[in-house]
Amino acid sequence: MTDPTNPGGQPPRDDEPAPGDGSGPQDPAGPPSGPPAYGAPDAYGAPAGAPGDPNAPGPTAPPPGSFPPPADGGYAPPPAGGGYPPPGSYPPPAGGYGAPQPGVGGPAFAVGDAISYGWRKVTSNLGPWILVALIFLAVNVAWNWITGGFDQVQDQFDYTDTNVLAVTGLTFTNILLGIVGTVIGYLVTAFFTRGALDEVDGRKPDVAAFFRIGNVVNVLLAALIVGILTGVGLFLCILPGLAVLLFSAFVYYVALDQGVDAITAVRTSFSMVAKNFGQVFLLLLALLGINILGAIPCGLGLFVTIPLSYVAVGYAYRRLSGGVPAA
């Protein structure tokens, strides 16, 4: 009988598979039994490289969605609000957000805190403050005696009223003594301010520490500028002079602490008070009342209230300048 697959009756060749042994052409619907041939597309549609060929393209990444979701129920949906976590989803840090910085989120200092701070610092180191105050008091008494003696000598030997300066009291001697007295007053304020800054910075000053001041020239120039502006303001309408005194509350502190020139010290003090006007005004008003009460018992209370005032203003200055007063 003639084989329908070999109509010519030719015997099969050795390199040709025999029909029906399973090694012939495969069913197109069945899966391939081995790796795809070189250049043929792989399971993801990319051409497969020949084994061992370094220049052949490697396997490509699977397309999105080809991996099944996790076994625990799928991926979590993205958070609402455009992919960002909702407000309040993160807990605050363990130590809290910290206290507000000076001038941020509230007043830089409390008036009661400044006064209680000054009381605590002065009463814990009262001896040097009283000794320095007694020294300044003795200097003031001696100066008044000297100036009074000069006035008596001048009145004794001046028998004429032809000199205009003598008639008005503006003699050369009086002008010179007035300048010296003004400088002494400025220095006394600077000495007390130095002691207050030491207290605020955690250094209990002894008597000698009050007199260790630097930047003396600029301190005196700044005080002179404030004095001139105050005098002009008082002469014009009183209120401008009081305003100058208020806005210059930190001039000595800035000049001594920061070592700046006189103009910068005045401008810095004005700026600090302007930005915190309410608190500074209330503090100075409270200190004025405290010193009035201190003057009632024959002025003896001033030995405590005046140092307290310097330290309280120093506390306010340190807070407004961004520092932290020492405990």
What are the per-10-residue average pLDDT scores of the chain (327 residues)? 52 52 49 53 51 52 55 55 52 45 60 97 96 94 82 55 55 86 95 97 95 95 96 91 96 97 97 96 97 93 96 97 91
CB 188 within 8 A of CB 136: yes
What burial class does residue 51 get, using C-beta atoms within 10 Å of its C-beta: 0-12 exposed, 13-18 middle, 19+ buried?
A: exposed
Longest CA span, the chain: 173
Question: At which residue do the structure tokens 């993205």 appear?
Answer: 78
End-to-end CA distance of the chain: 120
Q: Other C-beta atoms within 10 Å of 129: how many?
A: 26
Domain boundaries, the chain: 111-320
Nearest to 260 by CA among 225, 224, 230, 221: 221
* pLDDT score for 237: 86
Prediction pTM value:
0.66
What burial class does residue 244 get, using C-beta atoms within 10 Å of its C-beta: 0-12 exposed, 13-18 middle, 19+ buried?
A: buried
Main-chain dihedrals φ then ψ at residue 47, nearest 5 degrees:
-65, 135
